[in-house]
Amino acid sequence: MSSLANKVLTSSFRAELGRIVDAHNDKVYSKQKVVVRDCSRKTREDRKNEIFRAFADLRQMGFPLQSPLNFKNRHLQELTSFWQAKKLSPRTINTRFSIITVFCTWIGKPNLPGKIEDYFAHPETIKRTSICRINKAWEANGVSIAAEIQEAIKLDERFGLLLALQHHFGLRVRESIEMRPLSAISETRIGAHLLVLEGTKGGRPRVVPILTAEQQQTLEWALSVTQKSRSMRLRWPGNTWKQAQRRFYHLMQKMGVTKADKGVTAHGLRHGYAQISYRKASGFPSPIEGGAQGKIDPATHRWASSYVSQLLGHIRPDVFPTYGGGYGHSLRVHKITVTNALFQNPLTTKMPIY
């Protein structure tokens, strides 16, 4: 709950709003239906904070609602005007609007919000794009991954290992910190795979193939490191997740690998993995690397994009442009499915080998 809400909302209003949020906030939401799946803790916290903030803002603007159930379209209009007046980014405005849309379904008013464009005189100003325009991969920015990992090892071996895992498997920071290598490596008749189970976004597990000697060596390194830990996690012994997270980013700053210093972040390793995977799957460089306009056929691009999106743990195939750029409308990624059941049953289906 935002601190502003504690200051300006009455205790009875906060209690009623809290009951509404707590009754619905644990499930994933889609425009078509409420998905019967728990959402992440971060999503729940973000929703709650934004909803309480919205009603606090309304009260300060002169709309002291007696009950959250009294929320109407004119209140949403006031909020959108307030957001634009504060010059919030298109991404922030879209996120807040989406959360209010979800809230309206909770109070039995699913048709209350119109399209977001209806609330702005110049809709183009709040249009967001997920297509990557600047390559965020380390190598593309002149940062040597091998050299930086060696420097990281000098500072802290576990820190260097986390970077290596992010580089070779496209892991998020939390996924690498929370990994238990002993239970994550799966040997089957179709080869070896890394089961990404811990710290995933939305709690969605995924499978990443182990195809290179570098990947295998990195996992053997991880096993040797975690054998010294009772929990068998890669996280530093004695650290909670939050403490390990702070330690990781402190070491990143100490090493000077930050957006301000070298133009990259840890997430750039994930971008690099996505681009490498696209090259191997399609036979062409990703659009952000120059692409192959006029050479690559739409079906190959769409398949490779969808495949890489799922390797990264995303449900939507059109997420790839966030990492690898796009070709525009002619080769846009639509809702297609990778014809590979590996992502549903990694133990029985053969992985396409590059």
Residue 19: the pLDDT is: 96
Would you state the structure tokens that stand for residue 70, as one six-digit string? 């009294």
Q: Which residue has the tokens 């990557």?
A: 132
Tell me the pairing of strands 27-29 and 191-196: unpaired
Cα 172 from chain centroid? 8
Q: What pLDDT, in 10s, does the model give residues 67-81? A: 999 999 999 999 999
Same domain, 57 and 8: yes
Residue 4: the pLDDT is: 85
Establish if 150 belongs to a structural domain: yes
Residue 351: the pLDDT is: 37
Same domain, 146 and 222: yes
Residue 130: the pLDDT is: 61
Establish if 348 belongs to a structural domain: no
Cα 298 from chain centroid? 26
Identity at 138, one-letter amino acid code: W
In DSSP terms, 34 is beta-bridged to 29
Supply φ then ψ for residue 142, to 5 degrees: 75, 20
Same domain, 193 and 173: yes
Establish if 311 belongs to a structural domain: yes
DSSP assignment string, 121-156: SSGGGG----S--S---TGGGT--HHHHHHHHHHH-
pLDDT at 230 over 80: no
The stretch 288-317 carries a mean pLDDT of 90
* Distance from C-alpha of 200 to C-alpha of 175, rounded to nearest angstrom: 6
* Distance from C-alpha of 45 to C-alpha of 192, rounded to nearest angstrom: 36
The stretch 142-156 carries a mean pLDDT of 97
Cα torsion through 256, 257, 261, 262, rounded to 10: 140
Cα 76 from chain centroid? 27
pLDDT at 337 over 50: no
pLDDT at 151 over 60: yes
pLDDT at 5 over 70: yes
Residue 132: the pLDDT is: 74
Same domain, 238 and 327: no
**Domain edge (last residue) among 209, 244, 265:** 265
**Domain edge (last residue) among 210, 232, 265:** 265
Residue 333: the pLDDT is: 54
Nearest one of 120, 136, 130, 43 to 91, comparing CA atoms = 130
pLDDT at 279 over 60: yes
Kindly report which listed range (2-11, 304-313, 333-342) carries the lowest average pLDDT score.
333-342
Identity at 293, one-letter amino acid code: Q
Q: For residue 344, what pLDDT band results from cuts at 50, 70 and 90?
A: very low
Establish if 134 belongs to a structural domain: no
The stretch 253-261 carries a mean pLDDT of 94
Domain count, the chain: 3
Cα 58 from chain centroid? 30
* Distance from C-alpha of 115 to C-alpha of 351, rounded to nearest angstrom: 41
* Distance from C-alpha of 169 to C-alpha of 303, rounded to nearest angstrom: 20
For 157, other C-beta atoms within 10 Å of its C-beta total: 13
Same domain, 261 and 156: yes
pLDDT at 207 over 60: yes
Kindly report which listed range (130-134, 165-169, 273-277) carries the lowest average pLDDT score.
130-134
Residue 228: the pLDDT is: 72
Same domain, 162 and 235: yes
Same domain, 313 and 228: no
* Distance from C-alpha of 278 to C-alpha of 53, rounded to nearest angstrom: 41
Same domain, 261 and 144: yes
For 182, other C-beta atoms within 10 Å of its C-beta total: 12
Q: What angle do CA 220, 223, 227 make, to 5 degrees?
A: 145
Identity at 98, one-letter amino acid code: S
Mean of all residue pLDDT scores within the chain: 86
Contact 325, 287 (CB under 8 A): yes
Same domain, 173 and 244: yes
Residue 282: the pLDDT is: 94
pLDDT at 336 over 90: no
pLDDT at 341 over 50: no
Establish if 177 belongs to a structural domain: yes
Same domain, 145 and 235: yes
Establish if 132 belongs to a structural domain: no
Establish if 334 belongs to a structural domain: yes
Identity at 144, one-letter amino acid code: S
* Distance from C-alpha of 81 to C-alpha of 60, rounded to nearest angstrom: 14
Same domain, 165 and 281: no
Contact 72, 104 (CB under 8 A): no
Q: For residue 347, what pLDDT band results from cuts at 50, 70 and 90?
A: very low
Same domain, 258 and 277: no
Q: For residue 59, what pLDDT band results from cuts at 50, 70 and 90?
A: very high
Q: Which residue has the tokens 């906060």?
A: 14
**Domain edge (last residue) among 247, 265, 283:** 265
Q: What range defines the domain where residue 115 resides?
A: 3-126
Residue 31: the pLDDT is: 55
Establish if 131 belongs to a structural domain: no
338: left (phi over 0), alpha (psi -120 to 50) or beta: beta
Nearest one of 195, 168, 169 to 181, comparing CA atoms = 195
Residue 133: the pLDDT is: 78
Q: What pLDDT, in 10s, does the model give residues 211-223? A: 999 999 999 999 9
